[in-house]
Structure 1
Amino acid sequence: MALTLKGTTIFLALNLVLGLWASQAECRKPPEEASLRESHEQWMARHGRTYKDNAEKEQRLKIYKENLEYVKKFNSEGNQTFKLSLNRFADLTNEEFDYTRNGGLMVSSLSRPSRVNNSSIYDQTLFSSGGAPSSIDWRQKGAVTNVRDQGHSCGSCWAHATVAAVEGLTKLKTGKLPLLSEQQLVDCIINNQNTRGCKGGSPVDAFGYIEQNGGITGEWNYPYVGKDGICDQNRASQSAAKINGYALVPNNNEYALMNAVSKQPVAAFVSSRGKEVQFYSGGVFTGNCDPSTLDHVVAIVGYGTSKDGKKYWLIKNSWSSHWGENGYMRLERNSGIPEGRCGIAVDASYPTA
């Protein structure tokens, strides 16, 4: 009886060990997959990313893997003037990124000539030679506020670029740098063909609104919420900065654009399409974009030349300080492309005092 019991005990113990080994074998992942999942988990924790269920997590993991491989391959190639990194957009396809982070109303559909027939003018003085310094950074002159984040569901880049330009002009006029309200522009420019809040817009419309409204209020009075709202006329009437109008930079002319930026920050349409823009992390961007479709608006807050001799535009973006060079990009200047790298010279404008 004791022998039988002992044998039974050994048999059960053996089955238990074999079952445990089998279970571990089923759960064990290949080293590459385990490393990928660990990398994704760390990225999620770093950026506060969560998913509604395991199905969505697996879908995002697949996209994360594709983006990771793309970034690694790009950075391994030689003779690059810029680098990529897995930033906060690493689990988005490029199509999703374009849809959620831009707001230039796909402005290739906006006709620039038709917009000239209003109160704005081309600034002809920008064609004159001489006077512009070889480099300028308006941040160093206290004319640029901190980088903001337009959010993942509001295409308000146009409002952020407008505000950056008006903030810079106000500093130059008054000596004081205000923090102005993008949300006022999102809420209050209504019944307009080209500008529709979080669905996209144009700085020219925003400059026109600020002029006609008698100014724009401060961020403290009309804070940004990243979604369309009803215009609060009472708050909108409490001006913190005023402009007298706006001017257009002659298009497809980087020399004229440099003259304009040498005087003050300028708002400009660009193309932000492609993974190279999505994952840009530093250096002078000489990469791929589609200048035939201008879908984003940025503020040009300077220009210069890198240590290795690459001329660039200094761009303030509205995708938070966790993108690019702490929220900024150095975009190739004088690339030999008539419209400029990523179309930067096609449609630029600025407020006037």
Structure 2
Amino acid sequence: MAGSKAFFLAILGCACLCSSVLAVRELSDVAMVDRFERWIVEHGHVYEDAAEKARRFEVFKDNVAFIESFNAGNNKFWLGVNQFADLTVGEFKSTIANKGFKPISANVPTGFKYENLSVNALPTSVDWRTKGAVTPIKNQEQCGCCWAFSAVAAMEGIVKLSTGRLISLSEQEIVDCDTHDTDEGCGGGWMDGAFEFVIKNGGITTESSYPYKAVDGKCKGGSKSAATIKGYEDVPANNEAALMKAVANQPVSVAVDAGGRTFMFYSGGVMTGSCGTELDHGIAAIGYGVESDGTKYWILKNSWGTTWGEKGFLRMEKDISDKRGMCGLAMKPSYPTEQK
């Protein structure tokens, strides 16, 4: 009798425990649904139907779990639930990172005017934002033209340094009008190609005169030039010291591998650790510095709006053992030369 009673109590206890676990799980799901609904409103997402929304919710849950697990670890940077939280890594790579970037296999050799500078004579930190050479963060949205945003950021910097004027230049003019060779607007391109276009075009107009539409459009010929460049040069490949020389003197276009999950959800701190080198995204190096713990980093301007990263910017570890740099950022940097 005593044995039967003990068995009954055990079954009852198990049932209560299972019921409690289910209740907690249900409460957790309710909280996650509420979080998802608030995220949808925040980012203005609209889904085709209930089935698509349900599928996106499952992806959202998985991404949130990854982000929270990563942030619980001992890392120098942290992740956030940003505008990409309903995308799988594969979708992100094909629509946000890889889409719109076509790195050329080989560059035509150029000069490097900063070659003879001594790294030891360079300042320990540089931030072109504090010198008024960086425009506010922009957002390429669904158009695969990161290459145009990267090139424009570098050109805005050299125009400021050459003329004293910070002018927001038009990515859309490049998207619409630079459609030759490897450059195909929202279909992809390369920063050096954008520089070549501006030189041949006799300049580039302002953002306000030729506003960004995030789609391929018909070239509006005859736009009034607001600025132009003399030429462009490529930084010696796989050489962070050479890149430092260039960035100490002006903002520089760089290419990175942005297809990783940590890059996708980067929210702040100095990105460290392993990273790929399959270049799939163009951004701009606008400075460098050193953390209080001695970690050296690059300051990078992205084109995914202010809800990504440090209000649109990124800090990435500098001077790592891999000569290609973190995420390959030292593989193919380039910069425009002075305004004519």
Asked whether the two chains share a fold, i.e. TM above 0.5, the reply is: yes
Q: CA, structure 1 residues 208+258, in 2 after alignment: closer, same or farther (shift >3 Å)? A: same
Counterpart CA distance in 2 for 1:98 and 1:250 is 27
CA deviations 1:193-231 (Å, max 9, x no partner) are: x21110111110010111111110001111110111111
Partner Cα separation in structure 2 for residue 156 and residue 182 of structure 1: 8
* Corresponding residue of 2:132: 142
Q: Confirm or deny: 8 A CA contact 1:252 1:339 kept in the other structure.
A: yes
Pairs within 5 Å for 1:1-353: 30-78=26-74, 80-102=75-97, 107=102, 110-112=104-106, 115-116=107-108, 121-123=110-112, 125-129=114-118, 130-152=120-142, 154-192=143-181, 194-235=182-223, 238-291=224-277, 293-353=278-338
Query: 1:105, 1:126 → 2: CA distance?
Result: 31
- Distance across 2 between alignment mates of 1:207 and 1:262: 20
1:249-275 deviations in Å (ceiling 9; x for gaps): 000000000000011000011100111
Aligned to 2:7: none
On the 8 A contact 1:165/1:350 being kept in 2, the answer is yes
Residues 114 and 246 in structure 2, CA contact (< 8 A), matched pair in contact too? no
Please state whether the residue corresponding to 2:297 is helix, strand or coil: strand
Q: How much has 1:131 moved relative to structure 2? A: 3.3
Name the SS of the counterpart of 2:299 in structure 1: strand
Counterpart Cα distance in 1 of 2:88 and 2:273: 18
| AA in 2 matched with 1:162 | A
Counterpart position of 1:4: none
1:191 and 1:324 map into 2 onto residues whose CA distance is: 33
The answer for the alignment partner of 1:3 in structure 2 is none
SS in 2 for 1:45: helix
Q: Secondary structure of 2:115's partner?
A: helix
Once the two structures are TM-superposed, the CA of residue 191 in structure 1 deviates from its matched residue by: 2.7
Whole-Å Cα distance in 2 between the matches of residues 303 and 104 of structure 1?
28
Taking the aligned partners of 2:91 and 2:27, their CA distance within structure 1 comes to: 30
Unpaired runs of 5+ residues, structure 2, are: 1-23
Counterpart residue type for residue 256 of structure 1: A
Shift of the 182–103 alpha-carbon distance from structure 1 to 2, 3 Å rule, reads farther
Shift of residue 37 of structure 1? 0.8
Q: CA deviation at 1:287?
A: 3.6
Q: Distance in 1 between matches of 2:212 and 2:29?
A: 41
Identical counterparts, % of pairs: 44
Matched positions, count? 314
**Which amino acid is the alignment partner of residue 78 of structure 2?**
K
Letter paired with 2:240: E
Question: What's the offset of the Cα at 1:104?
Answer: 7.0
Q: Which moved more, 1:93-102 or 1:121-130?
A: 121-130
Distance 1:349 1:122 in 2: 11
Cα deviation, 1:291-319, whole Å, max 9, x if unaligned, reads: 0x100000101000112211000000000
Deviations 1:139-158 (A, max 9, x none): 00000000000012x11111
**Contact 2:100 / 2:145 at 8 angstroms: preserved in 1?**
no
Task: Give the RMSD, CA atoms, in angstroms.
Answer: 1.6
Q: Secondary structure of 1:300's match?
A: strand
Amino acid at match of 1:147: I
Distance 1:53 1:155 in 2: 26
Report the counterpart of residue 15 of structure 1 in structure 2.
none
Conserved 8 A contact 2:101-2:282: no
TM-score by length of 1: 0.86
Give the counterpart letter for 2:211 in structure 1. Answer: P
TM-score, scaled to structure 2: 0.89
Query: Is the contact between residue 101 and residue 189 of structure 2 (CA under 8 Å) also seen in structure 1?
Result: no
SS of structure 2 residue aligned to 1:283: strand
Q: CA deviation at 1:102?
A: 2.9
Give the AA of the match of 2:301: K
Larger deviation, residues 264-273 vs 33-42: 33-42
| Residues 134-185 of structure 1 deviation map (CA, whole Å, 9 limit, x = unaligned) | 1100000000000000012x11111001111111101111111001000011
Q: What secondary structure sits across from 1:162 in the alignment?
A: helix
